[in-house]
C-alpha cells in the first residue's frame, strides 16, 4: 500500500473511530498492523482497551465510570463495582504486576527515590516537565486535548503519576502506582479516540495517519523522564551503586509495561535505553506554538508559589537542565547573574549534600528553598488521588 493511500485509509478509520478499536473492520487497520508486526512501536497502540473506551465514550458512559473509579486508589483495593462488564474484565487482567517484576529491585528503587528526591523533584518538575513542551507530538496532543485547557489540573494529574511512582510503597499492596497506571491507561485510550476528532489537532498533527499516544510516544515520554533523570544524575556525579541504577531502570520498565508498552520495545539495560533515546527522543525535539504556550503555563504555575527566586532564575535553571537551544526555542529571557550563580552553585550544592565537600557553599539555602518549594508544589497537588483524581475525559480542548 502506498503512503498516500495508507494515509487516506487510516485517516478515514480515525474519523470513524474504527482504527485501533476491537471489532474494527480488519482492512482499515491492515497497514498499521503490518507496521506493528514489523516491530515499529509508532504503529502499536493498546487495542483491547482502545476498543472498550471507544464504546464507552460513544455510549456516554464515561461519567459513570469516573464515579466508579474515584474511590479505587490503593493497589490492594478490589476492582470498583458498577463498571461495564468488558472494562471490569479488562482491568481484572491488567491490574497487577507483571510476572517478571522483581520486588527486591522495586523496593531498592523506592528507597533510592526517597534518598535522591531532592534531585528528582528538580529533574522531573523543571527538567522533564519543560522538555515535554519541546516534544512536538506530545505538546500538540496535550494542548488540544481537554487537559490542555486547564494546565494546573493537567499538571496536578501528571504529578499524581510521578508522585505515586516515586512513593516508598509504590508497588506494594498498600501503594497506589499500579492503580494510577491503569487509570492513566484508560485516559490514554480515551484520548486516542477523542483527539483525532479535533479539527485543531488534525490541522497541526505531524503524522495525521497515526493515532496519538502510540507505544513509541510512551517510550519517548519515558526517555524524557527516566533516561533523562539517570543521565543527569550521572552528569552531576551523584553517587549511585550499580544495583541502585539497575533498580531505578527496573521500576521504569514495570511502569511503562503497566502503560501498555509491549515487552519487545522496553529497554533491558541503560545502554539500550540511551541508544533508544538517541534515536527516538533527541532527533524530534523542536519548538511549536503549542509547546511554547504550555511551557509558559507551566513556568507560570511554578512562579505563582513563593520560591524565593526570580522568574529569571527559573528560566536559567531550565536552560541549565535542558540547554540554551531549548531555552531559546521557548523564548526564556536571559538572566546572566542567575546563570553564574547556578553554574557555580549547583555543583557545589550537590557535592555538599553528598558529603563530598566539608564546607557549606554560598547559596546553599537558596537552592534548598527552591527545591523545597517545588517539592511542595508536587505534594500539595497530589497528597492523594482522591484530592486530584485521574479522570477520563469526555471531549477535547474547547
Handedness of CA 19, 20, 25, 26 (dihedral sign): positive
Do 17 and 130 sit in the same domain of this protein? no
DSSP annotation of 264 reads G
Do 368 and 317 sit in the same domain of this protein? yes
Alpha helices (runs of H) in 59-176, residue ranges in sequence order: 62-69, 85-94, 103-115, 117-122, 129-131, 136-144, 151-166
Say if residue 245's pLDDT is above 60. Answer: yes
Do 99 and 225 sit in the same domain of this protein? yes
Q: Which of 115-129, 168-182, 268-282, 378-392 has the highest mean pLDDT?
A: 268-282
Do 229 and 325 sit in the same domain of this protein? yes
Do 48 and 32 sit in the same domain of this protein? no
Per-residue confidence (pLDDT) for residue 118, from 0 to 100: 86
What average pLDDT does the segment 61-70 reach?
Answer: 97
Do 150 and 183 sit in the same domain of this protein? yes
Q: Which of 153-157, 303-307, 354-358 has the highest mean pLDDT?
A: 354-358
What average pLDDT does the segment 231-241 reach?
Answer: 96
Quote the percentage of the chain above a pLDDT of 90. Answer: 66
Question: How many structural domains comprise the chain?
Answer: 2
What average pLDDT does the segment 348-369 reach?
Answer: 87
Do 114 and 9 sit in the same domain of this protein? no
Indicate whether this model's pTM tops 0.85. Answer: yes
β-bridge partners, 145: 396
Do 12 and 161 sit in the same domain of this protein? no
As given in the structure block, the three cell numbers for residue 325 are: 537551544
Q: Which residue has the higher pLDDT, 155 or 167?
A: 167
* Residue 211 neighbours by CB under 8 Å, 6+ apart: 14, 19, 20, 45, 192, 196
Do 30 and 46 sit in the same domain of this protein? no
Q: Which residue has the higher pLDDT, 47 or 367?
A: 47
Per-residue confidence (pLDDT) for residue 32, from 0 to 100: 56
Residue 394 burial class via C-beta count within 10 angstroms: exposed 0-12, middle 13-18, buried 19 and up: middle
Residue 196 burial class via C-beta count within 10 angstroms: exposed 0-12, middle 13-18, buried 19 and up: buried
User: 22 lies in which domain range?
Assistant: 1-38
What average pLDDT does the segment 116-121 reach?
Answer: 88
Per-residue confidence (pLDDT) for residue 37, from 0 to 100: 56
Do 355 and 259 sit in the same domain of this protein? yes
Do 14 and 128 sit in the same domain of this protein? no
DSSP-derived secondary structure for 302-362: HHHS--SS-HHHHHHHHHHHH-HHHHHHTT----HHHHHHHHHHHHHHHHHHTTSSSSPPT
Say if residue 386's pLDDT is above 60. Answer: no
Q: Could you report how far apart the first and last alpha carbons of the chain are, in Å?
A: 36
β-bridge partners, 396: 145
**Mean pLDDT of all residues belonging to the chain:** 85
31: confidence class by pLDDT, cuts 50, 70, 90: low
Do 108 and 31 sit in the same domain of this protein? no
pLDDT (tens digit per residue) in 361-385: 877 888 887 787 776 665 555 444 4
In angstroms, rounded to a whole number, what is the distance separating the alpha carbons of residues 256 and 38? 21
Amino acid at each position: 500500500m502506498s503512503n498516500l493511500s495508507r494515509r487516506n485509509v487510516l485517516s478515514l478509520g480515525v474519523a470513524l473511530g474504527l482504527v485501533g478499536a476491537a471489532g474494527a473492520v480488519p482492512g482499515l487497520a491492515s497497514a498499521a498492523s503490518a507496521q506493528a508486526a514489523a516491530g515499529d512501536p509508532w504503529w502499536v497502540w493498546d487495542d483491547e482497551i482502545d476498543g472498550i473506551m471507544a464504546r464507552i465514550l460513544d455510549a456516554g458512559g464515561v461519567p459513570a465510570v469516573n464515579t466508579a473509579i474515584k474511590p479505587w486508589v490503593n493497589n490492594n483495593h478490589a476492582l470498583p463495582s458498577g463498571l461495564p462488564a468488558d472494562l471490569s474484565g479488562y482491568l481484572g487482567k491488567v491490574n497487577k504486576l507483571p510476572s517478571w517484576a522483581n520486588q527486591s529491585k522495586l523496593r531498592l528503587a523506592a528507597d533510592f527515590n526517597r534518598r535522591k528526591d531532592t534531585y528528582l523533584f528538580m529533574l522531573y518538575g523543571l527538567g522533564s516537565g519543560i522538555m515535554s513542551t519541546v516534544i512536538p507530538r506530545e505538546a500538540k496532543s496535550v494542548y488540544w486535548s481537554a487537559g490542555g485547557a486547564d494546565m494546573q489540573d493537567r499538571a496536578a494529574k501528571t504529578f499524581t503519576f510521578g508522585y505515586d511512582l516515586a512513593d516508598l510503597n509504590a508497588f506494594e499492596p498498600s501503594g497506589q502506582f499500579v492503580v494510577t497506571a491503569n487509570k492513566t491507561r484508560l485516559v490514554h485510550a480515551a484520548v486516542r479516540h477523542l483527539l483525532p476528532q479535533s479539527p485543531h489537532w488534525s490541522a497541526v498533527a505531524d503524522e495525521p495517519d497515526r493515532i496519538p499516544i502510540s507505544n513509541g510516544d510512551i517510550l519517548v515520554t519515558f526517555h524524557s523522564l527516566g533516561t533523562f533523570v539517570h543521565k543527569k544524575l550521572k552528569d552531576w556525579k551523584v553517587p549511585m551503586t550499580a544495583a541502585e541504577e539497575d533498580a531505578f531502570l527496573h521500576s521504569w520498565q514495570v511502569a511503562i509495561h503497566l502503560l501498555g508498552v509491549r515487552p519487545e520495545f522496553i529497554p533491558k539495560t541503560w545502554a539500550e535505553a540511551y541508544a533508544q533515546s538517541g534515536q527516538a527522543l533527541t532527533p524530534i525535539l523542536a519548538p511549536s506554538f503549542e509547546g511554547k504556550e504550555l511551557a509558559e503555563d507551566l513556568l507560570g504555575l511554578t512562579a505563582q508559589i513563593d520560591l524565593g527566586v526570580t522568574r529569571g532564575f527559573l528560566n536559567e535553571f531550565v536552560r541549565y537542565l535542558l540547554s540554551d537551544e531549548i531555552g531559546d526555542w521557548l523564548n526564556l529571557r536571559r538572566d546572566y547573574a542567575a546563570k553564574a550563580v547556578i553554574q557555580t552553585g549547583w555543583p557545589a550544592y550537590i557535592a555538599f549534600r553528598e558529603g563530598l565537600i566539608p564546607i557549606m557553599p554560598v547559596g546553599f539555602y537558596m537552592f534548598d528553598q527552591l527545591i523545597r518549594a517545588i517539592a511542595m508544589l508536587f505534594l500539595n497537588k497530589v497528597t492523594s488521588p482522591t484530592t486530584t483524581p485521574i479522570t477520563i475525559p469526555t471531549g477535547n480542548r474547547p
